[in-house]
Amino acid sequence: MRAVHSINETAGFFGWTAIVKLSYEMGNLLGEQQSGGLAIQQQIVDTLLAATDIIRERMDHVKLADQRDRSANQPAIDSIRVQISLLNAMFNLVSVMVLGRNQLLRLLGSLSENHSRPAFGTG
């Protein structure tokens, strides 16, 4: 469940709406199953696995496009060494930033909705 949420938030950060929509629905299915509202069925498992394959395919396209952009614009870097602990810390911080950004956007959206409505009993 956490992995799907991370994929959803990261895709939202980069503006990959197709992956956002797909991972959101995956999260809904997993959440319903986790809460006991949905029994595990072969069809649901197959759907989740197919959705995972689609996300992988989309990410492969992103990687290929990135490689084409880099090869056209700058020399390729063969490798870079970074400690795994630093990468994990960076991913955790990025995840927190994405969650905070999306929470702020939801809050701003609800505030703008509340301010655009007339007060109760007026008008």
**pLDDT (tens digit, 0 to 9) for every residue of the chain, 123 residues total?**
788 888 888 888 888 888 889 999 999 988 998 898 888 888 888 888 999 999 888 888 877 777 776 666 666 566 667 778 777 778 878 887 888 888 888 888 887 777 665 555 554
Give the domain range for residue 123.
Answer: 81-123
28-38: b or e for each residue (b if 16 or more CB lie within 10 Å)? ebbeebeeeee
* Contact criterion met (CB below 8 Å) for 58 and 18: yes
Record the pTM: 0.52
Same-domain status, 10 and 56: yes
Same-domain status, 70 and 44: yes
Question: What is the domain count for the chain?
Answer: 2
Query: What's the angle, vertex CA 8, arms to CA 7 and CA 13, rounded to 5?
Result: 95
Same-domain status, 74 and 86: no
